[in-house]
Structure 1
Amino acid sequence: MQNNHTKNLAFLLLATLFISTSGVLGKYIAMPPEAIILFRALFAAAFIYLFCRIKKIDLSIHSKKDKLSFLIGGFFMGAHWVTYFYALKLSNVAIGMLSMFTFPVMTALLEPFFSKQKLNGVHVLLALLVLLGVYFLVPNFSIENDEAKGILLGVFSALCYSLRNLITKKSVTNYNSSAIMLFQLIIVSVLLLPVLFFSDISNFNSQFPFLLLVALLTTAIGHTMLVNSLQNFSVSTASIIGSIQPIFGIIIAYIFINEIPNKNTYIGGSLILLTVVIESIRSKKSSKQTK
């Protein structure tokens, strides 16, 4: 049992590491966010479709209710990605990622409305600790600067991500995680197709390798692993453990694009990392009690 929990936790952390590459790639790719997300979704959908065919994964949808669930989940996934990448463009990797990681706060508060699970006071306290970490990131808030706009978009992205995860949670017991991601990616692609007619994609050829990378590593692999981990963790637990993602992202940004965090980033990041450690220990004990 202990080995299973450790394995599941390691799987979730690896998924988080892969997803963390989105910060650097979102900042680095020289295209408008909506165009990046369109190609990200299209390429990732192609990768996952091929994987599903090779593994002979059932891609049938069982009911109209499930179709609606995938449609809504795909909409919130697309909204999350676009606003998140705008947050990265307006600010930097640290601010964009950490502001988006208010989503554990929202998830902990919203999850009781989506399941029979009662509001967990520990989750709320840990989520507030994450929020405190974000506060240390930019204590001098002004709506006039791009960093403030980036934070607001990051917070809105967090809301969309929370809703997407909570809606998706209901499908993980009845559908393969790769199939769920494929359905949602198709929705995102269809919704963003008009981007081809009004967005600047003139440098598509030069950015193609990076678009493939964000589609394969971050999306097809990382997000599919995250969806799969929802079979073993509640959305709140997965969200709070996933709060280590900005730490990974900041380290990757330092290595590849030489973004150096300031003092407040270290403080905020430390608080976020603390919540990950606490929730990892707490969820391990909870797993033992329910086995």
Structure 2
Amino acid sequence: MYRFLLLLSGVVFCSTSVIIIRSSSLEPSLVATYRLIFAVALLSPMFFLSWKKHRNWARPKVFLRCIPPALLLAIHFISWAWGARMTYIANASLIINLTPAVMPFLAYFLIREQVTRREIAGTAVAMTGVALMAWNAFSIDPSYLWGNIVCFGSMITFAAYLAFARINKDFPSIWLYIVPINALAAIICLIYSFFALESISIDSWEEAGWMLAMAVLPTILGHVTLNRSLRYFTAQTFAVVNLHQFVSAGIMGWLIFSDVPPNIFFLAAALCIGGAVIVIRETARIRKANSA
């Protein structure tokens, strides 16, 4: 139960991302750059403490394994901030929640992780909820086409980035894994911003506050928690639970902005929760059988 609550909390914190992105006026690559720089600055003490503890293990060669997920994370952050501003929030949230549709393929080809029939059934129930939201909210307005395409590509890179967390679950500390990834991704985003933009500065304290919020909420409390959870849950279980981002985002929009969700939202949320329960119970059954 503790591990499930940990995973669910990570989903909730990640769901704040789209709200903060739409509140900021910084260029997408700068949003990605500064959220990562602030996150690395805040987490660096944890990294050095872990490095000191596992010094014999933490050799330079080991950290080469952080390069692929760092590249994927940088692309995801830039494309997500870009795409979220080019389409409706409903569209962006919906597309990023299509992760379970591609995760079985990534999990199989990257880590040879099989998906059981019950996991498929739970995924189908949860995806039905997403389909209902799609029927109600998804826009096929041609003016939003590129935004939808960018969000879809961002979803693919996010799923691949998460799959690497399963590959690298042997890291003795989550800080030895996540901090180098964030640092490398920050460097990639900074280099891109330097050549692509006229200025890479933050022009107000308000924007600095939004970037600090991006670093603390979706990046540290969100992504760190999700990466840690992937040490215990299968990639498919994680992907189904991650569907609840649109549920928590909808509830926060309701409470903070008085943006009342449509009635179909509650049915979709119930289906997502039901699908997650099926998948999580299957995961618990498999874990129990393997330990017997």
Asked whether the two chains share a fold, i.e. TM above 0.5, the reply is yes
Q: CA deviation at 1:50?
A: 2.0
Q: CA deviation at 1:141?
A: 5.1
Partner Cα distance (1:57, 1:275) in 2 = 40
Q: CA deviation at 1:263?
A: 4.8
Give the structure 2 partner of residue 111 of structure 1: 107
Q: Which amino acid aligns with 1:236?
A: Q
Give the structure 2 partner of residue 89 of structure 1: 85
Give the structure 1 partner of residue 279 of structure 2: 279
Q: CA deviation at 1:46?
A: 0.9
Q: Report how many residues are paired.
A: 284
Contact 1:102 1:130 in 2 (8 A): no
Q: Which amino acid aligns with 1:235?
A: A
Give the structure 1 partner of residue 251 of structure 2: 251
Partner Cα distance (1:75, 1:279) in 2 = 30
1:231 equivalenced with 2:240 (yes/no): no
Q: What per-residue deviation string (whole Å, max 9, x for no partner) do you get for residues 102-137 of structure 1?
A: 112111222111224334344344444444444433
Give the structure 2 partner of residue 241 of structure 1: 241
1:183 equivalenced with 2:180 (yes/no): yes
CA 1:189/1:108 → structure 2, altered by over 3 Å: closer, same or farther?
A: same
Q: CA deviation at 1:71?
A: 0.8
Give the structure 2 partner of residue 3 of structure 1: none
1:150 equivalenced with 2:180 (yes/no): no
TM-score normalised per structure 2? 0.85
TM-score normalised per structure 1? 0.85
Unaligned runs of 5+ in 2: none
Contact 2:22 2:84 in 1 (8 A): yes
Partner Cα distance (2:140, 2:243) in 1 = 25
1:218 equivalenced with 2:218 (yes/no): yes
Unaligned runs of 5+ in 1: 1-5
Contact 2:14 2:217 in 1 (8 A): yes
Q: Secondary structure at the match of 1:90?
A: coil
Give the structure 1 partner of residue 67 of structure 2: 71
CA 1:74/1:57 → structure 2, altered by over 3 Å: closer, same or farther?
A: farther
**Which deviates the most, 220-229 or 117-126?**
117-126
1:163 equivalenced with 2:164 (yes/no): no
Q: Which amino acid aligns with 1:96?
A: A
Partner Cα distance (1:239, 1:138) in 2 = 18
Contact 2:94 2:134 in 1 (8 A): no
Partner Cα distance (1:285, 1:196) in 2 = 50
Contact 2:121 2:275 in 1 (8 A): no
Match for residue 189 of structure 2 among 192, 195, 198:
192
Contact 1:103 1:239 in 2 (8 A): yes
Q: CA deviation at 1:232?
A: 1.1
Partner Cα distance (2:85, 2:258) in 1 = 16
Partner Cα distance (1:199, 1:74) in 2 = 25
Q: What per-residue deviation string (whole Å, max 9, x for no partner) do you get for residues 242-289 of structure 1?
A: 221221112112223344434554554443333222222222333322
Contact 1:111 1:117 in 2 (8 A): yes
**Which deviates the most, 201-210 or 166-175?**
201-210
**Which deviates the most, 262-271 or 167-176?**
262-271
Aligned-residue sequence identity (percent) comes to 15
1:25 equivalenced with 2:28 (yes/no): no
CA 1:176/1:202 → structure 2, altered by over 3 Å: closer, same or farther?
A: closer
Q: Secondary structure at the match of 1:72?
A: helix
